[in-house]
Copies of this chain bind each other. A is one copy, B any other.
Amino acid sequence: MALSYAEAVDKLTVEAQNQGAVYREQYEMCSILKASGRMAKDAVRSPETTPKFDTSAMDGYALNSELTANATAESPVIFLVKGMIAAGDEPIPAFGDAGLDGVYPCVEIMTGARFPETFDCCVRIEDTVSFSDESSDRCYIKVMRPAKPRQHRRLAGSDFKEGDVIISAGAVISPAHIMAMASVGVTEVEVLRKPRIGVFSTGSEMQPAEATKPNLHRIRDANGPHIMATLSDWGVDADFLEVLDDNADSMVKKLLYHITEPKYDIIISTGAVSTGRFDTVPTSLKRLNTRVVFHRIAVKPGHPALFGIIPRQGDRCSGSNGIAYFGLPGNPVAAAACLRFLVNPFIKIFQDQQLEVPLRARVRSEEIEKTDIIASSENCAQLLSTFPPDKDVFRPGISHRLSDGEMGVTLIQDHSPSKVKPFAASNCWIHIHRGHTELRAGDMVDVFLN
C-alpha cells in the first residue's frame, strides 16, 4: 500500500526540519534595498528612538498655546513673527518673552521642521490672519481661537523606541519592513542565504529545450524550463544542470560530482523514477547509498515520486546530513504537481516557514459559470468529476474572483499527466483530498494558486 499524501508530507516535514538545521544557520548580509522577499535570520531591532526630535505636523506658526486661551474672532491674540524654520534647518535659539510692546513672539514653521523648545504648539497658516507693520517692517499674525497644547506637534519618540522589534527572526522581509529599517538607519540586514537547487531532466528521448535543430524521434524537455521558472518565482537559487540519458552509470557519475562539491541543498530530477528497466533514478540513488524516504505515493498525478537523502561525499565543513533528492515523474503535469505539493512544502519547512494554507473556492461547471446560477441542493447539483477513494488528487483549474468577492474555480476537463496544453490554460491547482470521491457544482475545495 503506497504512502498517503498526508503521510508523505509528514515525512517531508521531519526531513526538512533535520536537513534544514544547518542551512538555517547560514546567512549573508544584504542591503535593505535588495531585501524584499528574503528571510531575516535574527530579529531586527531599532537601534534608535524616532523621531529624534519634535517636528511640526503642519505649515503654520509655532507659539505658546497658553497665550491663546482667551482668543476669539472679536478679540484675537496677536503674535510677532520672529522668523521662519523650514524642514532641515538648524534649531533656532530660545526666545519666548514678550517684547516691550507686550506682544509675544511666534515663529513660522514648516511641516517636518524641528520644533523650537520654547513653543508648545503649531497653529495652521489657514487658521491665522497675517499683517505687517510697514514702518517697522515687522510681521504679525492674529489667532482667533484657543490653540490646544501640543497641537500639530509630532513628538520625539512617538514612532520607534530603541530596541523595538522591526522584523521577527525568520520573517519574510516586506517593503514595509524596508521602510521601517530605512527610517531608523538600518542599511543592511542578515538574511538566510537562498536554498540552492540543482535540476536535471532525464530521458534518452529528450532534447534540451534550447536545441534549435529538432530531432524527429525526440521530444523537447519541457520540465527543465518549467521547474526553473517556478523555482525562480519561489525565490530560490536554481541551476539547470543538464538533460541526462537513461543510463545509470552516467547519472551516478553526475550525481557524485554534484554531491562531492556540496553546492546544492536539494537536487530535483524528472523522469526515470518508476520501476522499469530504464528507470535509472532508483538504481543510481541506491548506488549512492541514498536513504529513500518514500517511493511511490497515493497521489494522482505523480504516484511514482521518490524522495530520499543522499549522503554528502567529502563534505567536511557543513556538518549537514546529506542532500535532499526529489525524483519527480517525467510526465510534465505530474512533475508540476509534485513540484507544487512535495517540493514546495519541503522548501518552506527547510527555511522554517509555514506551510502554505490553501484558498477556499466554490467549484463551478462551465455552464453554471455562464448563466451564473449556483445549484442550491447538493443532491441535484451537477456531478463534475469522480475520484479514486484511496488517493489525493491534484487537478489543474481556473480560478476567478466572483462578483461577491468569493473565489470560484472551474476544473480543467481535458486533463492528463502528459498533456501540456490544458495545463498551460490553468492558473491554480485544486486539491481533492483522499476519501472524496466526487465533486459537484457548488462544492467548496482547496485551491493553490500558481
Binding site for B on A (CB under 8 A): 32-33, 35-37, 50-53, 55, 57, 59, 86-91, 110-114, 125, 154, 158-160, 164, 166-167, 174-185, 187, 203-206, 209-210, 212, 214, 216-226, 228-230, 232-233, 245-246, 274, 276-278, 330, 332, 336, 357-360, 401, 404-406, 418-421, 423-424, 426-427, 444, 446, 450
Q: Which of B33, B86, B217, B450 contacts A174 (CB 8 A)?
A: B450
Is the beta-carbon distance between B406 and A360 smaller than 8 angstroms? yes
Is the beta-carbon distance between A336 and B226 smaller than 8 angstroms? no
A86: chain B residues within 8 A (beta carbon): 204-205, 246, 278
Give bound CA distance, A221 to B233, whole Å. 30
Is the beta-carbon distance between A405 and B359 smaller than 8 angstroms? yes
- In the assembled complex, the CB of A113 is this many whole angstroms from the nearest CB of chain B, namely 7
A206: chain B residues within 8 A (beta carbon): 87-88
Is the beta-carbon distance between A112 and B219 smaller than 8 angstroms? yes
Is the beta-carbon distance between A276 and B125 smaller than 8 angstroms? yes
A36: chain B residues within 8 A (beta carbon): 229-230, 232-233
Q: How many copies does the complex hold?
A: 2
Can you list 28 A-B contacts with CB-CB less than 8 angstroms, sorted by A residue number?
A: A32-B229, A33-B228, A59-B277, A88-B205, A88-B206, A110-B276, A114-B205, A125-B276, A166-B421, A167-B424, A175-B226, A175-B233, A176-B424, A176-B427, A178-B225, A178-B226, A178-B229, A179-B222, A179-B223, A179-B225, A180-B420, A182-B220, A182-B222, A182-B224, A183-B332, A184-B220, A358-B405, A405-B444
Give bound CA distance, A414 to B44, whole Å. 21
- In the assembled complex, the CB of A132 is this many whole angstroms from the nearest CB of chain B, namely 16
Known A87-B203, A182-B225, A209-B187; contact A158-B424, beta-carbon cutoff 8 A: no
Is the beta-carbon distance between A219 and B51 smaller than 8 angstroms? yes
Q: Which of B216, B229, B420 contacts A183 (CB 8 A)?
A: B420
Is the beta-carbon distance between A175 and B229 smaller than 8 angstroms? yes
Is the beta-carbon distance between A88 and B401 smaller than 8 angstroms? no
Is the beta-carbon distance between B87 and A278 smaller than 8 angstroms? yes
- In the assembled complex, the CB of A141 is this many whole angstroms from the nearest CB of chain B, namely 15
- In the assembled complex, the CB of A55 is this many whole angstroms from the nearest CB of chain B, namely 8
A276: chain B residues within 8 A (beta carbon): 59, 110-111, 125
A274: chain B residues within 8 A (beta carbon): 59, 111
- In the assembled complex, the CB of A340 is this many whole angstroms from the nearest CB of chain B, namely 10
A216: chain B residues within 8 A (beta carbon): 52-53
Known A185-B220, A219-B52; contact A205-B174, beta-carbon cutoff 8 A: no
Is the beta-carbon distance between B423 and A226 smaller than 8 angstroms? no
A182: chain B residues within 8 A (beta carbon): 209, 220-222, 224-226
A167: chain B residues within 8 A (beta carbon): 424
Is the beta-carbon distance between A212 and B183 smaller than 8 angstroms? no
Is the beta-carbon distance between B360 and A405 smaller than 8 angstroms? yes
Give bound CA distance, A110 to B205, whole Å. 11
Of listed A32, A114, A229, residue having the most chain B CB within 10 A: A229
- In the assembled complex, the CB of A107 is this many whole angstroms from the nearest CB of chain B, namely 14
Of listed A167, A178, A424, residue having the most chain B CB within 10 A: A424
- In the assembled complex, the CB of A351 is this many whole angstroms from the nearest CB of chain B, namely 18
Give bound CA distance, A231 to B264, whole Å. 31
Known A87-B205, A159-B419, A419-B158; contact A222-B112, beta-carbon cutoff 8 A: no
Nearest B residue to A48, CB-CB: B214
Is the beta-carbon distance between B233 and A179 smaller than 8 angstroms? no
- In the assembled complex, the CB of A363 is this many whole angstroms from the nearest CB of chain B, namely 14
Known A33-B228, A183-B222; 7 more pairs at CB < 8 Å:
A37-B233, A59-B274, A87-B206, A87-B246, A89-B217, A110-B278, A174-B427
Is the beta-carbon distance between A160 and B420 smaller than 8 angstroms? yes
- In the assembled complex, the CB of A202 is this many whole angstroms from the nearest CB of chain B, namely 10
Give bound CA distance, A203 to B405, whole Å. 41
Nearest B residue to A174, CB-CB: B450
Nearest B residue to A356, CB-CB: B401
Give bound CA distance, A446 to B405, whole Å. 9
- In the assembled complex, the CB of A170 is this many whole angstroms from the nearest CB of chain B, namely 15
Is the beta-carbon distance between B53 and A217 smaller than 8 angstroms? yes
